[in-house]
Amino acid sequence: MDLKNLTELELYFANHFDTVLFPVLAEIYQSKGEYDRAKRVCEIGLEHHPDCSDGHYILSQAEMGMGNLAAAEKWMKKVLNQYPDHKSAATALPMVQEQLKRSPTTVKSSWKRAQSVDPNNQFAKDYLLARSKKKAKKKSNVSDFPIKNQSTPSVPKNISLESISISPRLATFTLVNVLKQQGLYHQALVVLDILDKKREDKKRIANECKAIKAEL
């Protein structure tokens, strides 16, 4: 069987719901932006293989693509509980948690985990550095000036993606929105380029690119 042939995989899956190959079919749907189908395949496959980390991760990405961020967070956590060194899940989790407005402590903890998994993760490095600098400044000024409701630093705007390998699995329109809201427009364009190579919605990609370039 050709594992790149969608029709063959669909026919095989229809007759073998218990196949260990379900993540392959789900990822093809995911790459085509058919998140609902990717989700359903994962749900069926995970009934037979509940410990399949690939299935859980693709399911998290499908939920993310559909805008179900709380569900995406749940499945990312499950992946990391099974495989603490899963780089893509470790990087995606704090991004989703920022969108969900989780507590600063929770977000910081997740970024620390991402840095522990991948010491070269520039997102984690810059986030934690910015937080450390802000904390030091607060400590040095606390005796002279009252500090009021300082918010947790967002991911700095000068992050370079040159040293970061964005997995095609991680690239979604939701990630584009996360980066846009952080003011990371160049990084958002990088993700859109990946989505274009994955043959996602061309019209949506063009509109996103146009809107982002207008901000530059």
pLDDT tens figures, 165-204: 455 656 777 677 767 766 778 878 888 888 888 777 888 8
Contacts of 144 (CB under 8 A, 6+ apart): none
Statement: the pTM of the whole predicted model exceeds 0.85: no
> Cβ distance 73 to 97 under 8 Å?
yes
Q: What is the pLDDT of residue 152?
A: 43
**Residue with the larger pLDDT of the pair 67 and 1:** 67
> Diameter of the chain by CA atoms?
72
Selected from 1.25.40.10, 3.40.50.300, 3.40.50.720, 3.30.70.1140, the CATH number assigned to the domain covering 1-83 reads 1.25.40.10
pLDDT tier at 5 (50, 70, 90 boundaries)?
A: confident
> Cβ distance 4 to 171 under 8 Å?
no
Going from N- to C-terminal start, the domains of the chain cover: 1-83, 84-156, 171-216
pLDDT tier at 75 (50, 70, 90 boundaries)?
A: very high
Residue 40: count other Cβ atoms within 10 Å of its Cβ. Answer: 15
Pull the structure tokens for residue 16. Answer: 């073998």
Q: What is the pLDDT of residue 47?
A: 96
Pick the most confident of 110-114, 156-160, 161-165.
110-114
**Cα dihedral 116→193→130→214 (10° resolution):** -170
pLDDT tens figures, 87-141: 889 989 998 998 899 999 999 999 999 999 999 888 788 778 877 666 666 555 5
Q: What is the pLDDT of residue 157?
A: 37
> Cβ distance 75 to 63 under 8 Å?
yes
CA distance 99 to 104: 12
What b-and-e string marks burial along 137-174, b requiring 16 or more CB atoms within 10 Å of the CB? eeeeeeeeeeeeeeeebebbeebebeebebebbbbbbb
